Structure 1
């Protein structure tokens, strides 16, 4: 029996090639889009699920509160990870790590590595990062050890065994490779290329900070601290006890500095999608983005299914006599339902095969677009999932057409009176409206996203970042010792107009520090503020402007030790009312007191997702970065001169530089990718909707072939016939526009709330989105209508 159903299905496919082609094209496109979004969602939703004890691991985060501000941050004081397991029995273990990016050197191979982490010796016991060589309890047990990932080991040692080999870290630290770890998986929030033991930091602090023990430092935000609870069901009680223990040890410091911290336990598996804290991990995603793209994928698939339902029910007339005769000769309704469901499932299986082919073909391009590598293995598991998906989709999309077609009464069918039943017509109209509502929401969404990204790219940031090169030398003494000579050599090229030394970067965020100042009444204020160090040439190099006072001056000796600058946000934060009132205000106490000599106009050192906050700028007597303003007309000459000068003066130090405007663009990489994907998906949804519209107009033209022929004989014009076939569809598109506008406004308003600086949504965006969809619909309908209108009426009437 099933074989007969299948044969009939294939006969119907061959008999109705146009309708079948439209259905398969729409479904295949929708399935390919769903597969792309599925692999992206699988990556985003699976972050950190490979840790066996992941449900018991929490990160300790905190909210800092002072007299003038409050903010939440991801890192905490070092003492928490060192002492909480001894103070609280419910904490089974703890592990800390922080950024130790620096230069690694093996022979003539010298590179800056960004993902070096300094971590507790328990790192490979606490987290499930497999070691390919070495034992978890031994590889970080000595102060001069280092563990490399497999890819980094090959980078420096090739195919030689790296264990036991020596590698230079920084300018003079010699470390021994004690182990090789597998590269962290892509769905890990913790990314590293090398791990150095925390004992290294203990020794560094003792040698450089007068014997300071970092494990006694309870306040501040420094290290990422993770704890493993014995009973995760009691995490809220554990959080209360953590706060009590920290408050007990920090009480004196809090009272002295008029500040406090409130700590929270953040589940490991929630960090990637649900964390947006200051100094958080750069790899974090967004649950809102997951819901957004999941919804888009579902909508595109729904559009494809609706196309099938529309075309199948609209094509009922072609199979009306077949259905009626089969009922007359004894066919049961259940048999007809099975036949029509077989038609649907067959169609979906063919579409799934083509969709999978498109997916595999374009997967490398999708990986390039998103900046992440995605793979899809043809395994038995994946094959079964696809087969189940195709079967389920085929049944769901075929249920309505099957019951509609099988429900016709034989007498009505053979008389032809069932054609006057309006239920199928209204159902098809409702589905067309849904298609275009979805499409217009996506069109409006992409227009608003592109406007916001254009606003971000064109907004004045308070500095001139174009034609500025930022060199990150990470504070190496070899550079600082030769800084003046280096700058003199660089300025010998007419392509380099100015240079400046500074600590911290104007792009990507700055560090913060605790300090004290005074309000207008002379009362002391304790606060935290962002910090930046800069030399007198920094402000001219970046084209910054003053709101009051003056910039640093190299000719005023006290500027290097007793002067600071602040931004306008600091004036607001500290209640100084206007920039002029900030001049002379103190920062710090006693011999360390420095006074404000100038107020810089606000500039954005964070992305536009965040507002500009209080910033204190000190005089840079050393630094970690060098910025160069270059002649726009001779950028290549400037870069060439920088490279040759650096190689001549600092041959042992890799040159790491980037253009500031490109760094600004990288800040919005996720939004740019999202905008591109939205453009792609909205285009595909419009394509699918137009396929369905084209099929429906074709069906309508076939049903009205006699009417069109008679109208032409009686003198109807081509434009009149096109209008006849187009009028009803354009009404549906207009209705869709009225429904889509408030929906698009709601969703995009929520997306824009993530930006501290954003555009306003204007009414004309929705009109333009609707007009775009209407124009495309009119083009689609018009092209098919023209064919019907130009058909010779003799042929139309002869067909009867």
Structure 2
């Protein structure tokens, strides 16, 4: 039976004995122990301990004192060695440099994008206390969530809920399907207009260049302009208070005097606008919004410090129930700056939103930097055999392992910061393209919110990339290295292989993710929507309203003007068909209830989307009629007629619906047709019940152009437009572009994901190329000698 020397005395010997004596002394002691242990193992152990203690003499004890080098001299030496290493191993240096530069550049772009997303709507002074009221509606067990509330909610909340410090009502510019027209003399501009209550400036941060925020909106006919709008209209922002301009949007038109000039709304805002007017002007055209049963405006609250949000939610719902008996609605609040990233609700509960994109790109950034770090680790450990003698000699002359670790970490940190410099240059050069892809205005600045994270990420990258190679290389034993014995452990080879596999697993995951997103976008673009959106352009007709009953009456001047314009469009060569509606098919659709189809049973448990269209709307867009007929000029009940989609008929449970009568808001209506379900909202939402009402006065024009003649026909339409609306830009959009705009965010995410997946694959392939090239380079000297000898 073979016996082993006692381990503790052996470890003690290795600890105190000089390295130049250790191997010989240890070998002699072990040999003597093996000989004596054959006779008496116990006596051999005692003798081994005694012999170890006999070597505890000054001549054999290693020095425990290391004369410290000057820090600057040591740093200079390490930098010099690092630079020589880069110069000597050019291929590995370039592969690592390209990989880390690409990884850090992508991480920098993603950090800029993520930071931009996280800062949306957070510029308000009251950000942490600013909340928006949400209204939840129970529609037969399915709860929908929206931002529309009654126009009198804010003032009631201020009076009845003590936790609320300020409450205000806002109608954002995005509520309108089209921009308004601001007129000064012969100058006319299309602008986004917002309506707000006088205390708006106590709730939101909107600095004024001119005017008093406490009085700017107190007058009903006051108007505020943005700095850019004022400069475009007047060429200056000074001495403008009191000047009169004309504002028109929809059927609303009037003269307003300027009471303030505000700074342009930041790009990090979800509700940008160019002009602001008093909320009372909006209510004058929509008096029903003064009642509790109707909703549309947005309500915002500023909570008192320490307010209990749960208690506020409970009080809001009780407040609504006190004014609306047996209501299907409930209210809650959400922090306003959270709406952008957490704006999706399913069945009345938060269900994520754009925060998923932030999380996705955060993971991608980590993976890209991680893949680049793995390349550095693999190439550094793979060429360890080239640096074994360097390590052995340094250790033999007394270099501590910690000093070697510092040297190799410095090498990786220098590589990381050099890569950061190149990454910053690359991102700076590509920023215009990046902004075009992201639809944002990303900028490289010296802001500490950018500089410190960039330096921190780079430092961590350098430490991570250099940690394993530093520990691996510094662990070589000098005696074995200088004797030329193999020192590469099997574990190191397995680790490299595992890291390479991990690289490509990450790359494959990214590819699969990109393919899923691509298939989704391909589905969106190729999906049959139930209507034909090809070669259709939309634009707005502007008619100056007149303050007479005859003007807006059925068959009045307004309706005749719209029909006359439609007739002129039909005469334009290249026009196949034309129709009008109150909104575009993908735009805002009102929702209404109170439809009585059960012979006296008013069913308010279901809301219907409402689309007001002209006579030729269904025919022009190729919507399939399943039963009955579309709206006809010379036949049918005229404006008494309504058309439902199949989803609405299924909900109402009507058999043979055509010809049946029902009541809508107390007025008798006749069902003249049923159309096939078509997508008038996002494909991510199911098709809702829809009622289509006849509205010949709709000012949204939809013109189908003959294929191949689009440019010439658009030029003719522009000439016709300017003949009727001088001074305005012919602002048209193709219906397909309007539809694609619904998925602009998803399209950008898909494009960015493809680029980042491609870069991940490139970095992984670079690392694999470096590992594959290294074994081929190792036998160069042997091949050269053989060639010289005649092989």
Distance apart, 1:275 and its partner CA? 0.6
Q: 2:147–2:298: 8 Å Cα contact kept in structure 1?
A: yes
Aligned match of 1:108: 186
Aligned match of 2:664: 588
Distance apart, 1:108 and its partner CA? 2.3
Q: 1:571–1:582: 8 Å Cα contact kept in structure 2?
A: no
Distance apart, 1:340 and its partner CA? 0.7
* 1:78 partner SS: coil
Aligned match of 1:201: 282
Q: 1:509–1:605: 8 Å Cα contact kept in structure 2?
A: no
Q: Deviation string for 1:173-211 (max 9, x for gaps)? A: 111121111112122223221111123234445xxx5xx
Q: How many residue pairs were aligned?
A: 693
Aligned match of 2:328: 260
Does 2:487 correspond to 1:438? no
Distance apart, 1:651 and its partner CA? 2.6
Structure 2 CA distance, aligned partners of 1:49 and 1:151? 22
Aligned match of 1:142: 219
Does 2:257 correspond to 1:189? no
Structure 2 CA distance, aligned partners of 1:796 and 1:310? 33
* 2:520 partner SS: helix
Does 2:287 correspond to 1:219? no
Structure 2 CA distance, aligned partners of 1:541 and 1:643? 20
Structure 1 CA distance, aligned partners of 2:304 and 2:356? 32
Q: Deviation string for 1:30-78 (max 9, x for gaps)? A: 1111110111111111122222221111111011124485411112111
Structure 1 CA distance, aligned partners of 2:674 and 2:471? 75
Distance apart, 1:390 and its partner CA? 2.6
Structure 2 CA distance, aligned partners of 1:374 and 1:338? 37
Structure 2 CA distance, aligned partners of 1:356 and 1:611? 45
Q: Deviation string for 1:438-459 (max 9, x for gaps)? A: 1111112222222221111111
Aligned match of 1:781: none
Distance apart, 1:794 and its partner CA? 4.0
**Greater alpha carbon shift after TM alignment, 150-159 vs 373-382:** 373-382
Aligned match of 2:391: 323
Aligned match of 1:537: 616
1:166 to 225, 244, 247: 244
Structure 2 CA distance, aligned partners of 1:156 and 1:351? 48
Does 2:374 correspond to 1:306? yes
Q: 1:507–1:605: 8 Å Cα contact kept in structure 2?
A: yes
Aligned match of 1:50: 123
Q: 1:517–1:585: 8 Å Cα contact kept in structure 2?
A: no
1:242 to 298, 316, 321: 316
Aligned match of 1:760: none
Does 2:229 correspond to 1:152? yes
1:4 to 77, 81, 84: 77
Does 2:571 correspond to 1:492? yes
1:91 to 125, 146, 164: 164
Aligned match of 1:747: none
Q: 1:76–1:220: 8 Å Cα contact kept in structure 2?
A: yes
Q: CA RMSD in A?
A: 2.5
5+ residue gaps in structure 2?
Answer: 1-73, 174-178, 547-557
Aligned match of 2:52: none
Structure 2 CA distance, aligned partners of 1:330 and 1:70? 75
Distance apart, 1:315 and its partner CA? 1.4
Structure 2 CA distance, aligned partners of 1:421 and 1:299? 28
1:512 to 587, 591, 598: 591
5+ residue gaps in structure 1?
Answer: 710-791
Structure 2 CA distance, aligned partners of 1:166 and 1:355? 52
Alignment of 1:608-627 (within 5 A): 608-627=683-702
**Residues 653, 184 of structure 1: alpha-carbon distance in 2 compared, 3 angstrom cutoff:** closer
**Residues 412, 476 of structure 1: alpha-carbon distance in 2 compared, 3 angstrom cutoff:** farther
Higher gyration radius (CA) = 2
Q: Deviation string for 1:554-584 (max 9, x for gaps)? A: 1125222x210000111233234x6x34651
Structure 2 CA distance, aligned partners of 1:186 and 1:536? 41
**Residues 57, 163 of structure 1: alpha-carbon distance in 2 compared, 3 angstrom cutoff:** same
Aligned match of 1:528: 607
Q: 1:706–1:796: 8 Å Cα contact kept in structure 2?
A: no
Q: Deviation string for 1:125-163 (max 9, x for gaps)? A: 211121121121011111111111112222222235333
Q: 2:172–2:271: 8 Å Cα contact kept in structure 1?
A: no
Does 2:272 correspond to 1:178? no
Aligned match of 1:743: none
Q: 1:344–1:394: 8 Å Cα contact kept in structure 2?
A: yes
Q: Deviation string for 1:97-130 (max 9, x for gaps)? A: 11454111122221222x3100111111211121
Structure 2 CA distance, aligned partners of 1:225 and 1:471? 31
Aligned match of 1:727: none
**Residues 85, 393 of structure 1: alpha-carbon distance in 2 compared, 3 angstrom cutoff:** same
**Residues 622, 347 of structure 1: alpha-carbon distance in 2 compared, 3 angstrom cutoff:** same
Structure 2 CA distance, aligned partners of 1:795 and 1:191? 75
Structure 2 CA distance, aligned partners of 1:83 and 1:621? 39
Distance apart, 1:306 and its partner CA? 0.9
Aligned match of 2:357: 289
Structure 2 CA distance, aligned partners of 1:334 and 1:614? 73
Does 2:157 correspond to 1:61? no
Distance apart, 1:16 and its partner CA? 0.6
Distance apart, 1:172 and its partner CA? 4.2
Aligned match of 2:197: 120
**Residues 559, 308 of structure 1: alpha-carbon distance in 2 compared, 3 angstrom cutoff:** same
Distance apart, 1:797 and its partner CA? 8.8
Distance apart, 1:372 and its partner CA? 1.4
Aligned match of 1:736: none
Distance apart, 1:267 and its partner CA? 1.1
Q: 1:56–1:230: 8 Å Cα contact kept in structure 2?
A: yes
Structure having the larger proportion of residues in helix = 1
* 1:179 partner SS: strand
Alignment of 1:754-765 (within 5 A): none
* 1:272 partner SS: coil
Structure 1 CA distance, aligned partners of 2:663 and 2:676? 19
Structure 2 CA distance, aligned partners of 1:420 and 1:385? 37
Structure 1 CA distance, aligned partners of 2:790 and 2:299? 83
Structure 1 CA distance, aligned partners of 2:334 and 2:433? 35
Structure 2 CA distance, aligned partners of 1:68 and 1:574? 16
Q: 1:567–1:600: 8 Å Cα contact kept in structure 2?
A: yes
Distance apart, 1:286 and its partner CA? 0.2
1:553 to 629, 632, 646: 632
Structure 1 CA distance, aligned partners of 2:661 and 2:486? 88
When normalised by structure 2's length, the TM-score is: 0.83
